[in-house]
Amino acid sequence: NAGVTQTPKFQVLKTGQSMTLQCAQDMNHEYMSWYRQDPGMGLRLIHYSVGAGITDQGEVPNGYNVSRSTTEDFPLRLLSAAPSQTSVYFCASRTGTGGADTQYFGPGTRLTVL
């Protein structure tokens, strides 16, 4: 049981490049989400999904796309990277859609956009 896994761990992009951050979980969780972490700002929700085929925007969705074709995978796409997207990205999952469930976080992807 690997929990929540993320790849890559580190990435450097040039402005305008695109890339996909991968996230997978093996706990059969319905709910998955992406956060970005910036110094002094805590974690901010980018996008989330309540199940395969269903996604919705969070607090800071601009510049990011997501899709959820399977329960296990929830990739995050940067279509045209900008320096403002330099951050640490965390994927998380939880069992249900209610607010009481514990979230399980991946180890993070540290992204630098030059």
Partner 1 sequence: AQSVTQLDSQVPVFEEAPVELRCNYSSSVSVYLFWYVQYPNQGLQLLLKYLSGSTLVKGINGFEAEFNKSQTSFHLRKPSVHISDTAEYFCAVSDPGSARQLTFGSGTQLTVLP
Give the binding site for partner 1 (CB under 8 A).
Answer: 4, 31, 33, 35, 40-45, 48, 50, 56, 58, 90, 92, 97-100, 102-103, 105-108
* Choice between 32 and 81, CB closer to partner 1: 32
* Choice between 41 and 82, CB closer to partner 1: 41
Nearest distance from residue 80's CB to partner 1, in Å?
26
For residue 56, give every residue at least 6 positions away whose Cβ sits within 8 Å of its Cβ, in sequence order, or none: 47, 48, 49, 50
Give the whole-angstrom CA distance, residue 2 versus residue 84. 31
Cα atoms in the Cβ-side hemisphere of radius 13 Å centred on 114: 4
Nearest distance from residue 102's CB to partner 1, in Å?
5
* Choice between 17 and 110, CB closer to partner 1: 110
Tokens 């469930």, residue located: 101
Nearest distance from residue 111's CB to partner 1, in Å?
15
**Cα angle for residues 108, 109, 114 (degrees, 5° grid):** 150
* Choice between 44 and 73, CB closer to partner 1: 44
Nearest distance from residue 95's CB to partner 1, in Å?
13
Q: Based on C-alpha coordinates, what's the Rg of the chain?
A: 13
